[in-house]
Structure 1
Amino acid sequence: MTVRIDPPALPDWQRAFKTVESEARRAGVRALVVGGYVRDRLLGLDRDRAIREVDILVEGKGATALAAAVGRALSTASPPVLFERFGTAHLDVDRTHALEFVSSRAETYDPTSRKPEVRPGTLREDVLRRDFTINTLLMDWDGSILDLTGRGLQDLEARRITTPLDPKATFDEDPLRMLRAVRFATTLDFMLDPNVEAAIRQHASRLQPPVVSMERIRDEFSKLLLANRVEPGLLLLDATGLLVRILPQLEAGKGMQQGGYHSHDVFGHSLLAAALTPHDLITRLAGLLHDVGKPAVHELRDGKPTFIGHQDVGATMAGSALHRLRYSGEVIQSVAKLIRLHMRPIQYTPEGWEDKAVRRLVRDAGDQLERLLILARADMRASHYPDVKKIDDLEARIERLDAAAIAAIQSPLTGDELMARTGRPAGPWIKRVKSALEEAIIDGTLTADGDAAWRYLDTHPELLRD
């Protein structure tokens, strides 16, 4: 019985599909949809998320020419980006949808490089060189499915991740596929075929530069982190030996008990905390790494474990780990700030905190305040802390104190004004004075205007001394 997708084109893709079909017919080439679009349509995932990119497989050498023809025919399309050497092309259909064209090919890889040796291939040769059988399924323009490996539909139904060829050969060609296997198993709620899992364990050490760039590792890891089932995914990464290649800093937390309300070791608690955060990359990274500094500061006092200063050590360690993975400066700084501050909301008590302490927290958190409170809740829930509700109380108190106004607090005097009035040159003293003025505003002992600030400095001359 022929398996068919009906309708073949989702509403957003009808015009593009019709254009590809007609231009392929005009050029006398065979073009089929392949990969993620076919897989997700068969799984019904298009009901849950929009499909923004579609892969088109062109039999023979006509991919770049077909991409150019489709680009000319679609008024909303940008000029295609052509990669003649590889027989591929990228075409932005509009601002939110893209087509990837590839000529059917066969590839071989040097064991020390990611650069493939490419030659023209048949459709079957092309799908056999793809990563997993569930990504080899082809769809013709009438919606009919071609399963050239004879296993793609079977593995899709069994919810199994396996490779078209021997997994050792597949992973040897591109070790990133090991991480992709775990990512697909996590995001699709599939299982790894035992032979695939064994091959990953055997080849895990190859997931590193120069064979695989950190940027590619980062991108796949980020996709896994944003999955619904992130904790099982991270555990599978660990079981296959891949997690230690990505974040070796987590390894020291295994077996390190924490005492108190904690029912997990540092490693298990970190994975659970990440899973309890929403689908936001910065918050998930902070959840995963928030206690990474604990092993470095671990001490036993009266037989009980302590981790004094772990948040500061952890912020530095997390920054280094994320820099190695080539995350952006914005992501690194945001995650480091969250880790550095993550204990503050947990230490909040309604009776023990004056308003100035709340204002200081808001000021220090800045634009990461919402994420910080989310992280604190996740941290407490991951350790069975009995009073998570106090974070709700803190949040309500912040709202009463006008968080936006607090976050906007800045020194009433600029560096130029301070230098002009005192006759002193620029230097670290300016930052020190401005910080002292901001602290005075937060404490409620100074209003935010210049005259009041000068009077305050007149009564606190020590602030202007070196």
Structure 2
Amino acid sequence: MLSLAESMAALQRIADSKPVSTLAAAFADAGYEFALVGGPVRDALLGRAVTDLDFTTSAKPDETRAILERLTKNIWDVGRDFGTIAAKLDGETVEITTYRADTYSDDSRKPDVAFGDSIEGDLVRRDFTINALALLLPEMRLVDVSGGVEDLLAGRIKTPGEPEVSFTDDPLRMLRAARFSSQLEFEVDPDTEAAMVRFAERLDIISAERIREELVKLLATGDPVPGIRLLVDTGLAERFLPELVALGTTQDDHGRHKDVYEHSLTVLRQAIELEEARHGDSEGGPDIVLRLAALLHDIGKPATRRFERGGVTFHHHDVVGAKLAKKRLRELRFDNDTIKKVSRLIELHLRFFGYSDQQWTDSAVRRYVRDAGDVLEQLHIITRADVTTRNRRKAERLEHAYDDIERRIAELAEAEELAAVRPELDGAEIMRLLDIPPGPVVGKAYAYMLEVRLDEGPIGKEAAEARLRAWAAENGIGTDE
């Protein structure tokens, strides 16, 4: 955390920015309290970059909108019923929420919205003390009703009041505790963690969409592992990701020194390291598909574990795991593209192993690329990250082998546009050459020509047409006599 002088200077810079000073003056002139609140205050005090501007006010939503309409035309309701109005002002997007005092009923998935009448009442109902901080503007008065600054200094995540009350108000806060433990590298207060264990079942009232959003935010942090451990240890993960919890009792097939759960966390960390080394701060942000696949790549092992000849085997756990991941991600309401890519990566994550013992033919490399499709780059990372053996010689051998296959893929791609492997004859050309109508026969002919392409690479149009005619003759296809 910054020194007091540095912290106040950081907050002053935010307050002096044009959109913030304009808003503060407008609300003050209208007779309402106005404050920067939550994450922006926390991050400024920690010396972290402030990317979002969240404000709270004593003005009701209609009053907030009326004030904003005098400043900008770019206004929209983020959640009018929840008291939040957004606007774009001087190039900055801001969200302004009326003081809140929400609660959940025992069986409700949505809060019962109630507007509060004081900044102190609003803050004490927030999730954690480190987020229950506000900077009243324009007077520059820091409001800390529950020791948030002290907890920032201690690196502690703690609820403002009794954790039982906080988690009853919004059970999703338990997942947020796990996310902040990773995002800020803070420890969760023992009483708060104990309440997470007691109230884990209450997470069942939260919608799958909200749980998914929190899981994605956790996976997007620099190191999600501490947060994931907290979810598993408190029993929360069992409520929405039981396949991950099951890995803790499943011994891996490479020795007795670690379980599959610990291996999966190591793979996740290594995948993130490789992702950052290869792509840095890409515009698209953290690769959630990659991180989900790394975390879940072995979830098929519990269902496929067999004890054979004094050892443990997990035959076909890749295929089983892909199906389990597809089902779980659907239940968490992930989009179809994410589900497809994650399950494909899990299904293919073992494909490479064995290459180091017997080098693949060019046709095998082509098939590897063809099967991976648009997840090839992510498959490279997953495969490399999946090497967690303590045997240094074995690890180096696998690394060199994968260096070799990536080199061969690049060489073949440069020579023959491998990334878009297609037969040299398309469906229309097949129908014309064989004089056949659309139908299953065209598909069989296309599949045959694709195998020729994968096995032999480009052979040229003339040779391809000759091969197609020969295949058709062998199979009694076509009208040529």
Q: TM-score under structure 2 normalisation? A: 0.87
Aligned to 1:157: 153
The CA deviation string for residues 39-81 of structure 1, in whole angstroms up to 9 with x for no partner, is 01101111xxxx33211111242x543345335524xx62222
Secondary structure, in 3 states, of the residue corresponding to 1:107? coil
The answer to whether 1:355 aligns with 2:350 is no
Distance in 2 separating the partners of 1:285 and 1:12: 39
Give yes or no for contact 1:5–1:144 (8 Å, CA) kept in 2.
no
The CA deviation string for residues 286-342 of structure 1, in whole angstroms up to 9 with x for no partner, is 111111112222222212212221111111111111111111111111111111111
Give yes or no for contact 2:19–2:90 (8 Å, CA) kept in 1.
no
Distance 1:82 1:342, change over 3 A: closer
Aligned to 2:404: 393
Distance 1:249 1:456, change over 3 A: same
Distance in 1 separating the partners of 2:106 and 2:435: 66
2:468 maps to amino acid? L
Give yes or no for contact 2:219–2:291 (8 Å, CA) kept in 1.
yes
The answer to whether 1:437 aligns with 2:449 is yes
Distance 1:24 1:11, change over 3 A: closer
Secondary structure, in 3 states, of the residue corresponding to 1:169? helix
Deviation at 1:383, TM superposition (A): 6.7
Distance 1:446 1:82, change over 3 A: closer
Aligned to 1:23: 26
Give yes or no for contact 1:111–1:173 (8 Å, CA) kept in 2.
no
Give yes or no for contact 2:21–2:138 (8 Å, CA) kept in 1.
no
Give yes or no for contact 1:37–1:55 (8 Å, CA) kept in 2.
yes
The CA deviation string for residues 385-424 of structure 1, in whole angstroms up to 9 with x for no partner, is 5222321222122112226811211133333444455565
Alignment counterpart, residue 385 of structure 2, candidates 378, 391, 395 = 378
Aligned to 2:56: 57
Distance in 2 separating the partners of 1:16 and 1:206: 40
Distance in 1 separating the partners of 2:158 and 2:302: 37
Deviation at 1:88, TM superposition (A): 2.0
% same residue? 36
Give yes or no for contact 2:25–2:138 (8 Å, CA) kept in 1.
no
Give yes or no for contact 1:411–1:448 (8 Å, CA) kept in 2.
no
Alignment counterpart, residue 94 of structure 2, candidates 95, 99, 108 = 99
Secondary structure, in 3 states, of the residue corresponding to 1:232? helix
The CA deviation string for residues 192-248 of structure 1, in whole angstroms up to 9 with x for no partner, is 11111011001111212xx21111101111111122222222111100111112211
Aligned to 2:37: 34
What residue ranges of structure 2 are gaps of 5+ in the alignment? 273-285
Give yes or no for contact 2:15–2:21 (8 Å, CA) kept in 1.
no
Deviation at 1:120, TM superposition (A): 3.2
Alignment of 1:227-376 (within 5 A): 227-260=221-254, 263-278=257-272, 279-349=286-356, 351-376=358-383
Alignment counterpart, residue 447 of structure 1, candidates 420, 444, 459 = 459
What residue ranges of structure 1 are gaps of 5+ in the alignment? none
Distance in 1 separating the partners of 2:210 and 2:387: 33
Give yes or no for contact 1:287–1:375 (8 Å, CA) kept in 2.
yes
Secondary structure, in 3 states, of the residue corresponding to 2:417? helix
Aligned to 2:118: 122
Distance in 2 separating the partners of 1:347 and 1:144: 64
2:423 maps to amino acid? S
Alignment of 1:391-430 (within 5 A): 391-402=402-413, 405-419=417-431, 421-422=433-434, 424=436, 426-430=438-442
Give yes or no for contact 2:297–2:321 (8 Å, CA) kept in 1.
yes
Q: CA RMSD in A?
A: 2.7
Distance 1:116 1:444, change over 3 A: same
Deviation at 1:29, TM superposition (A): 1.4
Distance in 2 separating the partners of 1:237 and 1:427: 52
Secondary structure, in 3 states, of the residue corresponding to 1:257? coil
Aligned length: 455
Secondary structure, in 3 states, of the residue corresponding to 1:401? helix
2:236 maps to amino acid? L
Give yes or no for contact 1:64–1:101 (8 Å, CA) kept in 2.
no
Distance in 2 separating the partners of 1:353 and 1:39: 54
Aligned to 1:194: 190
Secondary structure, in 3 states, of the residue corresponding to 1:147? strand
Distance in 2 separating the partners of 1:429 and 1:143: 78
Give yes or no for contact 2:18–2:90 (8 Å, CA) kept in 1.
no
Distance in 2 separating the partners of 1:179 and 1:272: 21
Distance in 1 separating the partners of 2:48 and 2:442: 56
Distance 1:21 1:94, change over 3 A: closer
Deviation at 1:176, TM superposition (A): 0.4
Distance in 2 separating the partners of 1:79 and 1:67: 8
Distance 1:39 1:325, change over 3 A: same
Secondary structure, in 3 states, of the residue corresponding to 2:384? helix
Distance in 1 separating the partners of 2:476 and 2:153: 73
The answer to whether 1:110 aligns with 2:105 is yes
| More displaced 10-residue stretch of structure 1: 419-428 or 166-175 | 419-428
Aligned to 2:283: none
Distance in 1 separating the partners of 2:457 and 2:99: 73
Give yes or no for contact 1:161–1:190 (8 Å, CA) kept in 2.
yes
Secondary structure, in 3 states, of the residue corresponding to 1:381? coil
1:372 maps to amino acid? L
The answer to whether 1:457 aligns with 2:468 is yes
Aligned to 1:70: 68
Secondary structure, in 3 states, of the residue corresponding to 1:99? strand
Aligned to 2:211: 217
2:180 maps to amino acid? F
Distance in 2 separating the partners of 1:156 and 1:233: 18
